[in-house]
Structure 1
Amino acid sequence: MSRRIAAHTAVVAARLIALLPPRRIRTALHLARRGARPAGDDEALRARQELGLVP
């Protein structure tokens, strides 16, 4: 169910961005491109272990 909510939110956001003028779209994409901060070593290792990529 949460994947469906995330997908719906993404579609709504894309539709709203599509209505913006090009300059505002560039600004929105620039802010989105910043994204989350990079994972630390411990966090990255835990994520790899959860995915089974590291024994």
Structure 2
Amino acid sequence: MTKKQTYSIAIGTSLGISLGVTFGAITENVAMGITYGSLLGTLIGVIIAFTLKNKKKS
């Protein structure tokens, strides 16, 4: 893993947690909001990381 890939996963996770807290506050279920938010954020970060990996090979 390169530095950019690690950063994209970290940024995706933290963004997901932030969105999860916001969503959790709106729905009044913060724990589920954080869970889903961090899961979605991690997935987004991994997708970006693999996109960066594939771009580098091309």
TM-score norm. by structure 2 comes to: 0.35
| Larger fraction in helix | 2
| Greater RCO (Cα-Cα under 8 Å, separation 6 or more) | 2
Q: Which has the larger radius of gyration?
A: 1
